[in-house]
Chain A
Amino acid sequence: MDPKLGLLQTFYAGLPKDRVKLETNEHGFEFLAMLLAEGAVLDYGHLGVHRLLHKYKLSDVPRRAFDRWLARHVAKACNICLYFHAQANDVFCFNLDNNHKENNTVLLPETAVAAATLQDVLSALGCPLLTVASGRGYHLWGRLAAPVANDRIHDLMLRAAARALAALHRDGLDPQKLKFNFYPHPRSVDVVSLRLFGSTHAKTHHFSQILTPAGLLDEPASWKAFEDHLLHRTIPLRTFESALAALS
């Protein structure tokens, strides 16, 4: 087995695998029949404005089908996006997006400041984040030693995000240019999904590089940083609780 597959399976072990959003250029009724052949159900499909990129929201996905698509994700043949559990999760993610209609793959100063602030604030409290280039900004993932109730995760994220907004105001930047989304969000766990690390962005075709203080890492170094985060930067529950208390 490709070791990258094992890393993804371990990092995202706590997320549900029976619901998936699949991003691919493949389409047509024959492809759809193949996609659903093992029992998955198509909730809906979506064709956006970017070439023929299709998104398929699938439920009742058999585990063997999921594993096969995850292998295709590693091979860059498709992107896998996962949803969160409704009650508690062991990963969380800030999604910072450029909020412009045009040229929204440009990295804004607002995004850079917000990402750095979130990383600084939470790292200082023992909760390091893995910052992944997402195409329109960054995904900042935190990994917990065990599932935590969504409302407590959301509480921590909201308070950390308030620090990031304060930093934007301090630097004279415009928060409206930036879109903050929190995963899991208590109101939208079954609504929005996030692309897993190891993906290629549909518009930019850029690999989901990892950002460090030294800059964006190339693909092999990003996989190494992903592994390093998985092995050494999982947040103990006691640390999560003390971070939440410190921010409250």
Chain B
Amino acid sequence: MTADPKTIAVDIDDTLNNFTEVLRELPVPDDDPHGLSPEVLRDYVEKIRAGVPDSGALLSTDYSFLRFRMHHRVYERAAARPEAVAFMQWLRAEGWRIVICTQRDLRRSFGGTKAWLAANGIPFDHLFSAANKIVFCRAWGIARLIDDDPFTIAHGAGYGVQVYFPVLPKHRGVLATGARGFTAFEQLKPWIQS
């Protein structure tokens, strides 16, 4: 598919907001419906805060359910980065088509996500979730993606997707071949117009 030069995909968590910061400070839930022992609950919470994936063979587990519930709370509490909001509003004013592209499970988080975007004045045209954002961007002819995911940073350029990423501590050691890191959204304006 031919890429549309004025369409851009933008991630939410740790790109437009401070997801990880809030997750690390999130209190241990006090309404666990699965009756986990306090020790197991604390262990799970620490792993979820550290971003440890569920390593078992099963899809739905006590761990995955707790992680979903914690992430859901973070979606509500995470703060939008003011300069990210200003940048998104600039995109809108400049006539860009904006596709919010996230790995959230939108079946269960659509309402909250839409409300959060509206409450923070973040404009968008379409909301998509994608397990692999590079595949999504290629399929939809989107040449530019703003995303903090190390996978897209490492592989986007190889598949014709120009990735821009907010430089975060987790990106140390990531081979950003062709991707461009930024420390302020203002830097992106000339880059995406070139």
Contacts and interface: CB of A to CB of B under 8 A. Distances in A.
Interface of A: 27-29, 32, 42-49, 52, 57, 99-102, 104, 176-177, 179, 188, 191-192
Given A27-B140, A28-B140, A28-B141, A47 B57 contact: no
Contacts of B110: 43-44, 57
Contacts of A46: 106-107, 128-130
Contact of B131 (A28, A48, A104, A177): A48
The interface residues of chain B, by DSSP majority, are classed as mixed
A44 B129 contact: yes
Interface residues of B, number: 26
Nearest to A174: B58
A99 B106 contact: no
Nearest to B97: A29
A47 B128 contact: yes
A179 B4 CA distance: 41
B126 interface: yes
Interface of B: 1, 4, 7, 57-61, 97, 106-108, 110, 114, 126-132, 135-136, 139-141
Contacts of A188: 108
Contact of B107 (A47, A100, A177, A191): A191
26 contacts: A28-B139, A28-B141, A29-B97, A29-B140, A29-B141, A43-B106, A43-B114, A44-B127, A45-B127, A45-B129, A46-B106, A46-B128, A46-B130, A47-B130, A47-B132, A47-B136, A47-B139, A52-B135, A57-B106, A99-B58, A100-B57, A100-B58, A101-B58, A102-B57, A176-B58, A179-B59
Contact of A32 (B58, B59, B126): B126
B139 A27 contact: yes
A45 B58 contact: no
Contact of A45 (B1, B108, B126, B135): B126
Contacts of A176: 58, 61
A49 B132 CA distance: 7
The 8 closest A-B pairs by CB, nearest first: A44-B106, A47-B130, A45-B128, A44-B127, A49-B131, A47-B136, A46-B129, A99-B58
B141 A191 contact: no
A99 B60 contact: yes
B59 A101 contact: yes
B57 to A, nearest CB: 6
B189 to A, nearest CB: 24
A177 B60 CA distance: 9
A30 to B, nearest CB: 10
Most buried by B among A42, A44, A57, A100: A44
Contacts of A48: 131
